[in-house]
Structure formats: structure tokens, C-alpha cells
Amino acid sequence: MSCLWMRRGLLALASASALLMAACGSGTIESQLQPARIIAFGDGFNDVGQRGSHFSVNDGGIDVWTQQVAIDFGLVVTAQSAGGTGYATGNARITSKPDAAGNSATSTVTEQIDAFLASGAIGANDLLIIGGGTADIIAEMAKVTSGAQTSDQMLAAVKQAGHDLAAQTRRLVNSGAAHVVVVGTYDLGRSPWATATGQSALLSQASGRFNDELLVSMVDLGQHVLYVDAAFLFNLMTSSPASYALVNATDPVCTSVDPGPGIGIGAGQVNSSLCTTATLAAGVDYNQFLFADRVYPTPAAHRQFSQYAYTRIRARW
């Protein structure tokens, strides 16, 4: 088993290296890209307010990383539901329905791309952001918890979801996209959800399985694709929160309990899409917390990731 995981790890590392280093020559890299538009697909991690709120602390500011990356390029990205190009929707899965919270009306990442491609051609200087994995892992974990499938079946389904996200990335490239940023899931085994359920090992394995398959399945797209490693940065933030001006990387700061399915981890759980500055733990600074709810990050964590992503994009193109 250890040899198998070593081979998987080395393969993923080789794939990531190819995607991160493709098209990089010798000498100083000078960014030439000035995006005309930012287009975002995915689940709650990329959602800029498709249903009117963000999966973070809704503080009236810039609280999702995709928004901040757009601002750093002098642009604004708004939700597709409000006439913009932010198609990402909370709880959306890659191809499967219902979503992580059991809602069959939520557009999958595949359907988000369908809608975008039907709206017109991809521009030469468009920057497309596509992500996923979190909602798929949540949905598959629910089947394990209910006894509907085994852990091995979950891991197989998650692996397929990673392959499916790579296929949608390839679809964008084949449709003319020259600049595609791809983001997998962070290690959900480090989330407050994993700690609360005692499933850290399985959720870590599932997160790794998704990201590995995603990388392996799109390794040949390096000319047009940049993989931004959420797991890498979130591992650093959870391991050494003080290095990122954080004091708490283990507890959700929001108190906005959702009596319904919420983010898919069960009824009666905190749902950050309902969280505002009026629904926070008493006596704390939410800017010093990593997690808004048991899965999704705070604006402070989003800002850290946006800075990391923006730096990678500028270095790449």
C-alpha cells in the first residue's frame, strides 16, 4: 500500500510540475496578460454570490478570492444571476445531481460551462477560473455516513469527479480558452468538519484522490492551464496559522446555524452563506479565523489564497 501511494504521489507531483512550469522559459518572467474578463466556475469556494450571498463571512466587502483576483487585475466579477460572469454556485458538483445539499436545481460545473459557452465565444484575453471537489466529497461522504456506500466506493466516485473536472477543463481549452486557472479542493481532512466527525483520514484520502486524478488527467494541457494548489496553501495555514496573522485554524467563527441541509454536512450546522458580522462568535475578531463554517473559509483566508493565486497567475502568463 505504501508503494502504491508513493507512486501516486510521484505521479501527481510530476503532473503538477508540468502544469506549473509549462511555457516557462529561462530568464526573468514578465507578465503579458491583462485579462479582459474573469469567468468563474465551481462550487462555494469560487461563488461570488450566485444566490445573493457568499460562502464566507458576508461583511459587505471583498470576501471571496475570485473577487479579489479580479480586483487585482482592475476588473470586477459578479454573479451570472446578476448579469455577470461568475457562474460558480454553492454546493455544485462537477457532473452529478443532486448537489451536496440535495438540491437538484443547482447547476453542475458542467452545466455552468454549458451556459457560458452558449452565451458567446471565449476571448483571447479571457481568464477562466474553474474549481471543484469540495461539494462532490461532501455528497459522497454523506453516502458513507448513511451506509449507502463503502469508503472504497466513495474514493472511486471522488476519483471520477477529479477526472470529470479535468474533462471540463479540456473542454474549455478545446473551445478556445488560452488562460485557464484550475483549483482543486484543499485537504478537507484538516477542516473543522473532519474533526467533528472523526473522519480526518478518509477526508484527507478523498481530497488527495480527487486532486491527483485531476492533475493526471490534464497534464498535457500545460500550455493553456495553470493549476493553483489550494491544498498546499491551506496545509500551511492550518499548520502554522500565526504565520498568516491567524489565531484560530480549528473552529468556525460563524454562528449562523441552518436548520436545513445547508452546506451538505447535515441539518442544524453552521452555513456560512447565512453568515454576516451579526452572526459571529462573541468577543473574537473574525479576521483572525481561518474557517467561517466547518468547511468554507473566512474573508481573511480567501485573501491569503487570492494573493497566492494572483502571484502564480502573474508569474505564469
Lowest mean pLDDT among 18-22, 49-53, 229-233, 271-275: 18-22
Question: 28 pLDDT exceeds 70?
Answer: no
* pLDDT reported for residue 31: 58
Q: What is the mean pLDDT of residues 121-132?
A: 97
Torsional sign, CA 62, 82, 172, 205: positive
Query: For residues 17 and 295, which has the higher predicted lDDT (pLDDT)?
Result: 295
Residue type, 266: G
Q: For 84, which DSSP code?
A: S
Q: In what order do the strands lie in the sheet with 126-131?
A: 37-41, 126-131, 180-183, 225-227
* Full set of structural domains in the chain with CATH: 34-240+297-316 (3.40.50.1110)
- pTM over 0.85? The answer is yes
Confidence of residue 3 (pLDDT cuts 50, 70, 90): very low
Instruction: Name which of 204, 212, 202 is nearest 159 in CA terms.
Output: 212
* pLDDT reported for residue 105: 98
* pLDDT reported for residue 32: 85
pLDDT in tens, 150-209: 999 999 999 999 999 999 999 999 999 999 999 999 999 999 999 999 999 999 999 999
